[in-house]
């Protein structure tokens, strides 16, 4: 049977723990820690999003509040922010610059600085037209409720949900004394967790390669690369 919910994940972890219940608060922290570590390891394709809720007016040195993007983790791509005017079909690409270099870039158009402390974007130079902002970012997932019967760890496929269980039980067993029988299970659990994680990475690699094949502007024998987007 494939586990899909937080409650089923809870039961699975307790099974790995020789059917000994783990304090629910502790288990929530262990699972949340596993989520945080795994999600931070790479910009998973299923976590990539484009926000189109914000806009920019034409003018100079505009600041845009990003606090409404509540699942924001980090930007991705070489030009993570685009300004799009749908009526004129105009696109401007913006490169992210370090916030501590804001004064150096404040008059340089097509650059933007991100103030993480205040969650604001500072658009440098002159915005040539008003339009909608397309902000490419890596999102975070919602916390997993270990008592819920709803699907957990969305948008990752449920077949990878046991990975969190193996990760959490590894953290738990590493912090307590265990009998010799349970201790012998640790290497096997680690091997299964490693194999499952490699499968998850291979699944993601295939999706990332599709993006590269259709967006890489270089090719050995011709220019631009077949099906690539030329800017």
Q: Is residue 13 part of a domain?
A: yes
- Interhelix angle 6-16/162-173, rounded to 10 degrees, is 40
135 and 58: one domain?
yes
Neighbours of 219 (CB within 10 A): 11
Q: Decide: 3 and 162 in contact? Cβ < 8 Å.
A: yes
Q: Is residue 230 part of a domain?
A: no
User: pTM for the full model?
Assistant: 0.85
124 and 164: one domain?
no
* Structural domains counted in the chain: 2
16 and 62: one domain?
no
Give me the domain span that covers residue 74.
47-139
224 cis-preceded (ω within 30 degrees of 0): yes
Q: To the nearest 10°, report the CA torsion of 48, 53, 58, 59.
A: -80
List the alpha helices (DSSP H) in 95-179. Answer: 102-105, 162-173
53 and 115: one domain?
yes
Q: Is residue 194 part of a domain?
A: yes
- Per residue of the chain (231 residues), what is the pLDDT tens digit? 799 999 999 999 999 888 888 999 999 999 999 999 999 999 999 999 999 999 999 987 899 999 999 999 999 988 999 999 999 999 999 999 999 999 999 999 999 999 999 999 999 999 999 999 999 999 999 989 999 999 999 999 999 999 999 999 988 876 555 656 566 667 788 899 999 999 999 999 999 988 777 665 555 445 555 555 555
40 and 51: one domain?
no
């Amino acid at each position: 049977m494939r586990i899909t919910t937080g409650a089923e994940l809870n039961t699975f972890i307790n099974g790995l723990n020789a059917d000994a219940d783990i304090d629910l608060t502790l288990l929530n922290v262990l699972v949340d820690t596993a989520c945080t570590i795994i999600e931070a390891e790479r910009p998973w394709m299923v976590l990539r999003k484009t926000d189109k809720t914000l806009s920019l007016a034409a003018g100079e040195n505009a600041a845009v509040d990003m606090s409404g993007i509540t699942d924001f983790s980090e930007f991705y791509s070489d030009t993570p922010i685009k300004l799009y005017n749908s009526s004129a079909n105009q696109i401007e690409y913006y490169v992210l610059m370090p916030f501590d270099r804001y004064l150096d870039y404040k008059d340089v158009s097509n650059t933007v600085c991100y103030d993480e402390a205040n969650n604001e974007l500072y658009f440098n130079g002159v915005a040539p037209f008003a339009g909608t902002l397309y902000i490419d970012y890596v999102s975070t997932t919602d916390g997993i409720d270990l008592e819920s019967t709803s699907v957990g760890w969305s948008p990752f496929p449920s077949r990878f949900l046991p990975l969190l269980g193996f990760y959490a039980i590894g953290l738990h067993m590493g912090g307590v004394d265990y009998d010799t029988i349970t201790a012998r299970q640790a290497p096997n659990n680690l091997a299964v967790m490693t194999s499952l994680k490699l499968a998850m990475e291979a699944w993601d690699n295939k999706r990332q390669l599709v993006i590269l094949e259709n967006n890489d502007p270089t090719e050995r024998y011709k220019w631009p690369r077949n099906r690539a987007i030329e800017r």
